[in-house]
Copies of this chain bind each other. A is one copy, B any other.
Amino acid sequence: MAHITTSVEYGLHSLFWMIGSEATPLSIRELAELQVLSPTFLAKIFPKLEKAGIVRASEGVRGGYVLARSPEEITFLEVVDAIEGKKPLFDCQNIRSRCPLYGHKAPAWVMKGVCEVHAVMLGAEQAMRDALQNQSLADALRVFERRNPPPEFTAAVQKWMGDKIEARTRKPARRNLMPGSKRKSGRSS
Contact = CB atoms under 8 A, between A and B. Distances in A.
Interface in A65-102: 76, 87-93, 95-96, 98-101
A36 B99 contact: yes
A177 to B, nearest CB: 30
Contact of A91 (B2, B90, B98): B2
A112 interface: yes
How many chain copies?
2
Interface in A1-46: 1-4, 6, 8-10, 12-13, 16, 33-37
| Interface of chain A: mostly helix, strand, loop or mixed | helix
B88 A2 contact: yes
B88 A148 contact: no
Contacts of A129: 124
A117 B140 contact: yes
B4 A90 contact: yes
Contacts of A140: 116-117, 119-120
Interface stretch (A48-56, A152-160, A168-176, A181-189): A152-160
